[in-house]
Structure 1
């Protein structure tokens, strides 16, 4: 769905994107991650033909970009750097103008498609208020509705849950998963690592313009060799661990063990109660910090 080869973008002496080879496959829910200033938004804008590459190649939906943009873009729903809208017009009027301005928008089905998109993003009850009166979360939902107007094969989204409350974030996550289940490939950049962890199946991580990791999320969140056990009989469990105990906090025991099922069977067979047993895996945050060198845009006084 998206392939780049040696994709590079320079702004004078600044190398914003440095030789990126990206591979987003059909059916992916792909999370694009990296510190502020790492080149994420620049790369997304190049995918959509909004910024021209200094060098390298881009293929989207099997066609070269930006050369074939006219045939590719109608198949893409996108929201980049926040939703765009005419602030003095209503949400519905904005969507109608957007649909009419692009290729492939059928006037006959426009009203039905607008209503369907508004229902999908939770804005079916909006009135005639101008967009300038909307909350940030409502504007974000409207931007996502605009991306869904033409039932795209590919969604490219930049921070799609920005400004939403926890319930709204969950609703958008469920919507993106449902769209993906119905055949839409999702590519999104986000700073919300916990959200990417719950939504995405693959991730790409950039740092200082370079793609430093691209992998299945389940693979990079590998085993740590640690198991968390909660047991009312914690004091009796400890002597059975042969030095494998890492830490204890009341009933909670962190144990170095490679097989949670075997550990659970041993404790139950010994007549000890196990309230819960959980295999510990690396978090996405741990992975990102490791491969990006914990980069930050913080500036401290010397």
Structure 2
């Protein structure tokens, strides 16, 4: 599988502060890649270097197989981006803002501009208010408009930095479904976020940034794969311990973790011994547990929701 985002030894230094410290990203065609880290960990600086908005101190960046920023004129028309909240002309309508954005960028067809603006406004849920002045938009509506701007060229790669900022729970759910729909249509998504729940529900691969360093990069399915243990929900944890002596790994109230990756076998042993069982499941680490293990104590700034 080809890679659409590659960095090699990427460093960005501001005076004595190393905001990004030698990271090697690998985002592959078809990924929904979650770039996860606490606020201030270097995510936005990295995204800006990917798009050629900030020059690296050292290292290399490739987008869609070409070196950045040297190939920016060829590559950027194939990339949609939303970084640090969009900037809009408040006295113009949402549709007019998008038309200006399209006219300013390379490769936009004037003949199809009005149709494409209407389509992306509908996509992000602003079809009914596209003629309203942006000054009257809520923060969430402005965020949606920024996302619409990123979608104007039907990008092969969509780079988003905290795209659900300012959105209510319904808006977050709608953006999530939109991104999944775009992904099903062939768009590779690079999503920078500090929200664990957002990344966990959306992403197929994850990179974790901690104080400028990439401390983890792997498939979500691998990171949250079964551990080889079974979780037993029971009102009689002491009886589970008696029946499965030597196999109990931990017990917390009625939640008992036992060695063995076959819940049916564990259930048969317990029920056969008369132990009441309310439920069984394979033990899987949560993304939160994975991030905490990789990033250490600073991961408490990465939010669950």
Instruction: Give yes or no for TM over 0.5.
Output: yes
In 1, are the aligned partners of 2:32 and 2:189 still within 8 Å (CA)?
yes
Matches within 5 A, 1:161-200: 161-200=164-203
**SS in structure 2 at match of 1:223:** coil
d(CA) in 1 for partners of 2:130, 2:30? 35
Match of 2:287 in 1: 284
d(CA) in 1 for partners of 2:267, 2:156? 45
Q: 1:142 to 1:234 in 2, by over 3 A?
A: same
**SS in structure 2 at match of 1:197:** helix
d(CA) in 2 for partners of 1:182, 1:55? 35
d(CA) in 2 for partners of 1:207, 1:173? 25
In 1, are the aligned partners of 2:9 and 2:22 still within 8 Å (CA)?
yes
Deviations 1:81-134 (A, max 9, x none): 012211121111111111111111111211221121112111111153221221
Match of 1:23 among 23, 26, 29: 26
Structure 2: where are the runs of 5+ without partners? none
Match of 1:253 in 2: 255
Structure 1: where are the runs of 5+ without partners? none
Matched, 1:82 2:91: no
Instruction: State the TM-score, normalized to the length of structure 2.
Output: 0.89
Deviations 1:16-48 (A, max 9, x none): 111111111111110001222221111100010
Match of 2:38 in 1: 35
Q: Which moved more, 1:65-74 or 1:11-20?
A: 11-20
d(CA) in 2 for partners of 1:265, 1:125? 58
Matched, 1:9 2:12: yes
Deviation at 1:231, TM superposition (A): 4.9
Matches within 5 A, 1:208-287: 208-231=211-234, 239-242=242-245, 244=248, 246-247=250-251, 249=253, 252-259=254-261, 260-267=263-270, 274-287=277-290
Q: 1:115 to 1:275 in 2, by over 3 A?
A: farther
Deviation at 1:228, TM superposition (A): 3.1
**SS in structure 1 at match of 2:61:** strand
Deviations 1:152-205 (A, max 9, x none): 000000001111122221111111111111110000111110110110011111
In 1, are the aligned partners of 2:42 and 2:211 still within 8 Å (CA)?
yes
Q: 1:221 to 1:267 in 2, by over 3 A?
A: same
- The number of equivalent residue pairs is 296
Match of 1:102 among 89, 102, 105: 105
In 2, are the aligned partners of 1:115 and 1:124 still within 8 Å (CA)?
yes
Instruction: State the TM-score, normalized to the length of structure 1.
Output: 0.90
**SS in structure 2 at match of 1:254:** strand
